Amino acid sequence: MFASHKRRTLLVDCDLRRPTLHRYFGVKVETGWVQWLETPPEMRPSAPVGIVAITDDLHLLPAGKSPHNPTELLDRLSRRETLQPLLQNYDIVIFDTPPAAVFPDALLLARSCHEMIYVCRYRSVRLAVVRKVLDRFIDSGISCLGVVLNHLPETKARSYGYHGYGTQSAAYYKAYSEKPDA
């Protein structure tokens, strides 16, 4: 969404145990930010290698190879001096992490983030676990913009608050699309 509004957006695959974003975008991974971080600082290029343009304003930085020390690498990535090359070239940097209830990776990256959106699958995580994870983020000082609930059945979505606001048909949204020039 950010890229569609002309915001230069970088999506960083931080799930080092099961990196998958490259598959969603059909990108062949030859290198990524893991190899960049594993290079000694004096030999490292100023910006991570392997950034792939998905659209003009959306870029993907794959993880690259899976390391044997994922938590340590994420700790190094979360440092301000490491992130600076990414932050100066993009309006928005989004970190896609493994499940926050299972691994500490998201909390490590949270100290470098301004805001977060918590994404969970409908009926796969108990509400008490979601609350506990959100409390940990709030205690770390990060602002939670909201929760996205994936795989919500349409029958549930139609009765879920705002009288089905989020499940309008395609015809409803066509009214807001840009009209082509005649």
In this prediction, residue 174 carries a pLDDT of 54
Domain contains 67: yes
Domain contains 125: yes
CB contact set of 26 (below 8 Å; sequence gap of 6+)? none
Please list the ranges in the chain whose pLDDT falls under 50. Answer: 163-165, 176, 182
In this prediction, residue 8 carries a pLDDT of 95
The alpha carbon dihedral of 122, 128, 141, 98 has a sign of negative
In this prediction, residue 164 carries a pLDDT of 46
Distance CA 14, CA 5 (A): 24
128 shares its domain with 106: no
Domain contains 15: yes
Count of domains for the chain: 2
Domain contains 176: no
In this prediction, residue 57 carries a pLDDT of 96
100 shares its domain with 10: yes
Residue 147 belongs to domain spanning: 115-168
- Alpha-carbon distances of 174 from 83, 86, 163, 166, 179, rounded to whole Å: 39, 35, 20, 15, 9
97 shares its domain with 128: no
5 shares its domain with 83: yes
- Model pTM? 0.77
Q: Residue 177, class by beta-carbon neighbours within 10 Å (0-12 exposed, 13-18 middle, 19+ buried)?
A: exposed
57 shares its domain with 9: yes
Domain contains 4: yes
96 shares its domain with 150: no
41 shares its domain with 100: yes
40-76 pLDDT, tens digit per residue, is: 878 877 777 788 999 999 999 998 888 888 888 888 8
Rg of the chain in Å (alpha carbons): 18
